[in-house]
Structure 1
Amino acid sequence: MSRHDGGSPADVARWRGHLQAELDGALIYRTLAEVEPQPELAEVYRRLAEAELRHAEHWRAKLREAGVEPALKPSWRARVLSWLARRFGTEVVLPVIVQQERGDRARYDAQMDARSAGLPAAERSHARLLSMIAGTTPRGLPGSVIARLEGRHRFVGGNALRAAVLGANDGLVSNLNLVMGVAGAELSGDAILITGLAGLLAGATSMALGEWLSVQSARELFEQQLAIEAEELDEVPEEEQEELALIFQAKGLPEPRAREMAERLMSDRTAALDTLAREELGIDPEELGGSALTAAATSFVLFAVGAIIPVVPFLFSAGRGAVASSIVVSGLALFGIGAAITLLTGRSVWYSGLRQLGIGLLTAAVTYGVGALIGISLPT
């Protein structure tokens, strides 16, 4: 078939591939809408299918400009995914579709003819919306039950409690092993004390620096994501309004109410960006991951609290008595940390406490033995 100067053979092949992908996506979303038992989510899938068809028309128009009249049908892959969704439910294929949308976004980002039509932003929105549906929507539960479950999960797995327990545990176990290794080499009490304090400072400083880098990097990533979202809000406001409406629908609002709320939010750019950041990206714009300095200081203190425990006996005594006292107080602390972990896991206090005690003392015995071997081999 003849082709105008609207595109090179490589462009035509690329447009044909994009058209195929969008047609496949439309088929899969239509299937998800048909099999989804929750009406609100079914409507979300239906509208995503409509969006894919609009994108398909963009590529179909590009092909027609090049003199090509495409006659494409859904691929075997799309038909298989549709069959799986009908046979086993939407949960089976959602992770695959999320990855596909992310791939489409990455592929479109570098293509001017896709960016001019706002396709990267649309695909990015689809991927994030699907991730939210796949990762946070328990199936078949009413909203009130979901809210109670999510609240309980947040309490049980609270980040602050987990960080406190694990930070103290890191300090305790690492410095106990260090102290026992030096004690096994039968160095003087002063040498053990200095080594323990040096290990405390080195470990706490390392943990603080690592925490600072982690939080600061996350903060910078969040800032970049917010900047991208703000840019999309300016460049493709219609897509962002549609995305807000889909998010509200996914939460259970009827379509008219969801569209009304989205339209009202879009009249206030700051409120729209804040809502998109919280609902789509999971970011609190006022915090952006918290303070890196606070996280570093907290990590330093928590590690130091655990690390000082095996060192304390050597502040007041020396010799085997100090070593025995260090093992006893560290053992009690290990059991206490194991018991505290049950707040996160829900397991038995005795089971978790004794498990933590056994593992901690076993590693301490190993390092003590290694220290003893090294001490014997050292020249006097």
Structure 2
Amino acid sequence: MTPLDTTTPPQPDPAAPVAAAPEDGASAPHVPPHPHHRDVNGGWLRPAVFGAMDGLVSNLALMSGVAGGAVAPHTVVLTGLAGLAAGAFSMAAGEYTSVASQRELVLAELEVERRELRRNPEEELAELAAVYEARGVEPRLAAEVARQLSADPEQALEVHAREELGVDPEDLPSPLVAAGSSFVSFALGALLPVLPYLLGASALWPAVVLALLGLFGCGAVVARVTARTWWYGGLRQLVLGGAAAGVTYLLGNLFGAALG
């Protein structure tokens, strides 16, 4: 005869969350965690990356071309510092103008959309419903979704901006951020080939070595940010920068000999 089990069954924890019971015996659906995406809309990454690469490549090439003309080391240093200053200010001004113009264009289009929502709300509502229908939503449901989203004028503007213009009104790039990141990154990149001369070097090769190492490092970092292979990104930038420096050195040597 089997003895009666007198142990007390475990009691549920009242603080623990209660899972919803599945319907008709079906197992509870598994909800995967929401992935954490990188910030791809910010206004700093592109100008910072472009500025650093441009500073390294352009100043290395500029200094190599001047050094190829067999000039004094202080002339190479002066050329590098002038290239750093001119390039950094030029990059910042260009980025500011470009991003500011793009931002002003988007704001102007948003104002047009705001006026249309105020003057022709029914047409805009039908337009939004048609967008959802084109994506496969049943017509009645698409019309109801469009109606609910359009109840708040600011939300309606945001939805129309996303669907029609492909922009987020709350996440427009900043001209100041773009200009500042471009200025700083270009200056830091352009400083690398000048640094050996400032520390006492009198030949070009230390500047070339340091600049190429910087190009490899920048390429590797950018590759990690964009999920590419780090060594491929580094080698790509190293080869491109080295080729630019080599060509300008040969041109400087050729022109220096011809002018001399």
**Equivalent residue, structure 2, for 1:182:** 66
CA distance in 2, matches of 1:267, 1:156: 30
Pick aligned residue for 1:283 from 156, 167, 175: 167
**Equivalent residue, structure 2, for 1:295:** 178
**1:339 Cα deviation after fit:** 1.9
Report the residue type matching 1:298 in the other structure.
Answer: S
- Secondary structure at the aligned position of 2:168 is classed as coil
CA distance in 2, matches of 1:378, 1:318: 26
CA contact (8 A) 2:68 2:249 kept: yes
CA contact (8 A) 1:156 1:343 kept: no
Report the residue type matching 2:234 in the other structure.
Answer: G
**Equivalent residue, structure 2, for 1:258:** 142
**Equivalent residue, structure 2, for 1:77:** none
Pick aligned residue for 2:51 from 150, 157, 167: 167
Report the residue type matching 2:215 in the other structure.
Answer: L
Pick aligned residue for 1:240 from 117, 120, 124: 124
CA distances 1:219-240 after superposition (whole Å, capped 9, x unpaired): 1111121122122213321111
* Mean CA deviation greater in 345-354 or 184-193: 345-354
CA distances 1:314-340 after superposition (whole Å, capped 9, x unpaired): 1111422xx121011111112112323
1:312 and 2:208 aligned = no
Pick aligned residue for 2:154 from 256, 262, 270: 270
CA distance in 2, matches of 1:269, 1:349: 46
CA contact (8 A) 1:165 1:340 kept: no
1:337 and 2:218 aligned = yes
- Structure 1 residues 223, 156: closer, same or farther in 2, change over 3 A? closer
Structure with more helix by fraction: 1
- Structure 1 residues 259, 162: closer, same or farther in 2, change over 3 A? same
CA contact (8 A) 2:132 2:142 kept: yes
**Equivalent residue, structure 1, for 2:244:** 363
* Mean CA deviation greater in 172-181 or 270-279: 270-279
- Secondary structure at the aligned position of 1:231 is classed as helix
- Secondary structure at the aligned position of 1:310 is classed as helix
**Equivalent residue, structure 1, for 2:16:** none
**1:156 Cα deviation after fit:** 8.0
What is the TM-score normalised by the length of structure 2? 0.76
- Structure 1 residues 296, 345: closer, same or farther in 2, change over 3 A? closer
In structure 2, list runs of 5 or more residues that go unmatched: 1-30
- Structure 1 residues 158, 341: closer, same or farther in 2, change over 3 A? farther
Report the residue type matching 2:150 in the other structure.
Answer: M
**Equivalent residue, structure 1, for 2:28:** none
- Secondary structure at the aligned position of 1:355 is classed as helix
**Equivalent residue, structure 2, for 1:374:** 255
**Equivalent residue, structure 1, for 2:113:** 229
Report the residue type matching 2:206 in the other structure.
Answer: S
CA contact (8 A) 1:172 1:309 kept: yes
Report the residue type matching 1:337 in the other structure.
Answer: C
CA distance in 2, matches of 1:256, 1:210: 49
CA contact (8 A) 2:218 2:234 kept: yes
Higher relative contact order (CA 8 A, sep 6+): 2
CA distance in 1, matches of 2:166, 2:228: 30
CA distances 1:3-49 after superposition (whole Å, capped 9, x unpaired): xxxxxxxxxxxxxxxxxxxxxxxxxxxxxxxxxxxxxxxxxxxxxxx
CA contact (8 A) 2:224 2:230 kept: no
CA distance in 2, matches of 1:350, 1:273: 44
CA distances 1:38-67 after superposition (whole Å, capped 9, x unpaired): xxxxxxxxxxxxxxxxxxxxxxxxxxxxxx
What is the TM-score normalised by the length of structure 1? 0.54
- Secondary structure at the aligned position of 2:194 is classed as coil
